[in-house]
Amino acid sequence: MTEGPLADLIVLDLTRALAGPHAGMMLGDMGARVIKIESPTGDDTRGWGPPFIGEEDERESTYFLSTNRNKESLVLDLKKPEDQEVLARLVARADVLMENFRVGVLDRLGFPVSRLHEINPGLVVLQITGFGHDGPEATRSGYDQIAQGEGGLMSITGTTQPTKVGVPIADLLAGMNGAFGVLAAIHERSTTGRGRVVRTSLLAGMIGVHAFQGTRWTVAGEVPGLAGDHHPAIAPYGMFATQTAPVQIACGSEGLWRALCGAFGWDPAEDRFATNVERVAHRDELIARIETLFADQPAEHWLALLSEAGVPSGKVRSLDDVYSWDQTLSQHLLLDVEHATQGKLKIPGSPIRFDDNPYSGGRATHAAPPTLGQHNESIREWLDS
């Protein structure tokens, strides 16, 4: 493991699936030593597929590979006293312990927060749940798509019916919020000398990103509906069909509206479209007008015209296109890692860069996601040293 801004931190990652592992990976990307503690059968995501890579006896889930880079794997059966003792020794050395069990499970395993802080008063404990650690539905299991629905995100996503986001966004946001909370608690510890419990949930992550859609209800009393492919408060702002592929336009100011009209040969002061409020009120008519114009030429023609006019626009790329795009490559958003059984792999990297490191994350090099129990021996030797 190589240096980074969090290289002095030791993180015990008892989480599984996606929300907690994503938080641990974010800390690992910044240089923290992240010890992933797995049951004898491993993280659930090791079996999530297809797709898998490798031979049957050494196969790896691409799902697991997406969220466990820069970690070491230690297998412990926390129902066994001898493995509970190993965990207690790790807690004594750690800075952070992360868990996303259902409420009360860690207590029943013999590690309530009171004991964790008795062993290590400076320990920061991150607890990620589905719907919060208390309240009438605290004991519910947390699954991403259910949280997307319960948290309202699906009610504003889609065109003709509620639609989930194409990635497990509730899990990912819970992980991001958890990592942020951990760093705040670590900063506080530098003054107080004591750790604290950081709590977040999939539900909190969903509500935390409602943004202007939330205040449409809480302030204006308006219940948002399906947003579709167009912004509910700005026009034109959305996706438009062309002769070939769709083109997206973001006309976020009156100046941009005038630039778009100049490119299209339109009068920006025309009735029904002179202001953003009027354009939003007549959005369907404006969309139809733009798509009628766009039907005569391929996407590339309109993208070039809009770019020359200074109007923000873009295409809708497939993932293979994204990962071969020269701009993606210029940002070093892909990592080359050496996997213990699969050899060289190319995986998406951290979205964060620092000014003295051209590569993603805070480390000089990155480690591939571990095989199950890959570091059993080395971690136990470290504990005994």
The pLDDT value recorded for residue 87 is: 98
Closest listed residue to residue 290, CA positions, set 319, 263, 271, 323: 263
Residue spans in the chain of domains classed CATH 3.40.50.10540? 10-209+329-384
Choose, from 171, 321, 356, 384, the residue flagged as catalytic. Answer: 171
Return all residues near 240 (Cβ < 8 A) that are at least 6 apart.
246, 247, 248, 249, 287, 290, 291, 294
Q: How confident is the model at residue 38 (pLDDT cuts 50, 70, 90)?
A: very high
Q: Percent of the chain at pLDDT above 70?
A: 99
The pLDDT value recorded for residue 2 is: 57
Residue-wise pLDDT for 191-219, tens only, equals 999 999 999 999 999 999 999 999 999 99
Q: Is 355 one of the annotated active-site residues of the chain? A: no
**Domain 10-209+329-384 class, CATH top level:** alpha beta
Residue-wise pLDDT for 146-171, tens only, equals 999 999 999 999 999 999 999 999 99
Global model pTM greater than 0.75: yes
Q: Measuring CA to CA, how many Å separate 186 from each of 35, 48, 120, 198? A: 18, 33, 14, 10
Distance CA 196, CA 208 (A): 22
